[in-house]
Amino acid sequence: MQLKQCWQTAGLALLCAILPVASLAAERPAILLGAAWYPEQWPESRWPEDLKLMEAAHIHVVRVGEFAWSRLEPQEGQFDLDWLDRAVALAAEHGISVVIGTPSAAPPAWLTQKYPDTLRTEQDGRKAQHGNRQQGSPTSARYREFCRRIADQMARRFGHQPNVIGWQIDNEYGAFSWDDDTHRQFQDWLRQKYGTLDALNRHWTTEYWSQTYTDWSQIPMGPGGNPGLDLEFKRFLTASIRDFQHIQVQAIRAASDKRQFITSNFMGWYDAFDHYVLSEELDLASWDDYVGSGHLDAARNGMTHDLTRGFKRKNFWVMETQPGSVNWAPVNNVLDRGEVRAMAWHAIGHGADAVSYWQWRSALNGQEEYHGVLVGADGTPVPLYDEVAQIGREFEQSSEALAGTSPVADVAILHSYDSRWAINGQRHNQDFDPVGLLASYYKPVREMLQQVDVVSADAPLAGYRMVIAPGLNVMPDDMAQRLTEYVNGGGHLVLGPRSAMKDAYNALQPARQPGPLVPLLGGRVEQFYALNEDVPVSGAWGSGKARLWAEQLKAQGADTLLTYGEGNGWLDGQPAVLSRKVGKGRITYVGAWLDNSLMRAATEWMIRLGGLEPALGPVPEGVEVSRRVGAGKEVFVLVNHTKTPQHVTLPRPMRRVLHDNAVTSTVDLPPRGVEVLLLGGRAIVPAAGF
């Protein structure tokens, strides 16, 4: 093979530099199936057989290296990257590209033993110990330098390798250190942001409980109870992890080809840091998609895909996903036959361009021995292997149809880490989960329109016909101005309960809710109530219940759409939902957490008012429709998430991409069945060798 000779000859650097990178990319499908591979755990003589099995399963990408620091740098300053070079070259022989992970989530024992200041300090003051992972402190200057150095060494070796297509920084950020140096960094960060203690004291209202600070060294490291302190601590944590990431990103970019992307694998709705901030310098977002116990919740999981797509507002990768089962859930059940395939196509429909399984083969020891895999510890495939191979064949078959396509939506749901942190810090009702509130809007919109974006509250909004903001608790003035401009420009803004209660410093707005948007709404919140009992609600959307939270509204020019029934006395007969037409636009304020049936009725009203249409048309319950458009094509991914057959009548004839491009007007989906339909463009013929 030309590639093998390239890497094994003395002229390696010269030959690799002139290899036709474009031809390698041409052989790679647009939609990739992958796996996490740990060649360092196995004898090198085993590698060819593993890669042969991957090739047979139509796997086109592996992630390597993210936990291999002790093998890459067995002693301080002594680097051994030759074995990884051989693994990358061997993968190329089998048509498998490589994403390399920087190993900063798993420092070697020699490092933390010789330099104990690189170890994290737990919140209770204990030092993290070797033997797990993420024991390194992301705020330690010494540890950051070690991480930069290993990333630099890896980039110098692999930054121009034709078969290396990307980099993953670290692994599932989440570690933090509570040591004295980090505390000082927090205080310095506050000094730089606020400039003076007077400004900080004013914004945090530190006269409360005699919290006033007269020296920066007096400020505790949050969370400490004061809402201003708590919010800034989360922002500081975000800045710290971003700096930790940035050092490695810089090292890789300085020594690698621009064609190699850089990402980091996030964890869905995990909220220790602001993912939008960390995504800014990444080329694409990716996340690790696990079900755990039970089975796939398509609405919740789809919302997480859409969240991840919204980090960069473009297609993403699923860097890790569940190969049937995990080892960390209360009950580590296996997903049903066909459910892994349905889950993979569910991801592609929502905008994933790669789905990668964790992991390829069972480790002989270690904390995750029982985790699901594609190949057992004995080196032979497990029963799921054949289903994954089917996914790989289908990804290849549909690759040309899906190339250049992305989900497109007329409706956006706004998401804000500041607002989630503010609400979670003071829920007022222990069951008021801001992600659950968002999901209560997302599910009916997604099911009825079959398309929706989840984006930052700072994202451009002009292209959306409707914008839903279920819980923008923190609303700085500039955000309020953008939302006002959106409504004045003809959009429909829907606000949910607890909107605009706080300013940028997590302090209460001096005006009643929704604060700076009161003039636009023509109404305000008179009082809010955490509910221990449901309250009846009725009006233009029908009848139902307000649960968990209710706000007594006052119309000052807005129309009342829902009114509370008999409840706690304060709410009786009072407005629950206000709406006002503003020029060509509209603003609607929903002051209660509505039950599911009433939310569906509300969604129907919003869709009808906006003249919005579903992407495909009506389908049976349990059948998910996703649309990807681009390059003159519309591609629909249909997934039957039920255990019963389903019949779908199409609004117009389409090509069945997975069935020899046959044209059809109806589709019969078996249990857990999948269909990929092409509208527009020419008939897709799979490339040779797929």
Whole-number Å distance between alpha carbons of 373 and 37 = 11
Whole-number Å distance between alpha carbons of 106 and 99 = 17
Backbone angles phi, psi at 292, to 5 degrees: 80, -135
Whole-number Å distance between alpha carbons of 664 and 647 = 13
**Residue 673: partners with Cβ closer than 8 Å, 6 or more residues away:** 338, 342, 639, 640, 645, 646
Which one from 320, 394, 447, 551 is the annotated catalytic residue?
Answer: 320
Helix axes 82-93, 47-56, angle to 10 degrees: 30
Whole-number Å distance between alpha carbons of 675 and 664 = 12
151 within 8 A of 102, measured Cβ to Cβ: yes
- Does the active-site annotation cover 320? yes
577 within 8 A of 618, measured Cβ to Cβ: no
Whole-number Å distance between alpha carbons of 368 and 327 = 6
Report the half-sphere exposure of 429 (CA within 13 A, side-chain side): 21
SS3 344: helix
Q: What is the DSSP letter of 683?
A: P
Whole-number Å distance between alpha carbons of 261 and 301 = 25
471 within 8 A of 437, measured Cβ to Cβ: yes
Which phi-psi region, left, alpha or beta, contains residue 165 (left: φ > 0; alpha: ψ -120 to 50)? Answer: alpha
Q: Radius of gyration over alpha carbons of the chain, in Å?
A: 27
Peptide bond into 43 cis (omega under 30): no
492 within 8 A of 585, measured Cβ to Cβ: yes
- Does the active-site annotation cover 207? no
Which one from 66, 73, 172, 624 is the annotated catalytic residue?
Answer: 172
**Residues with catalytic roles:** 172, 320
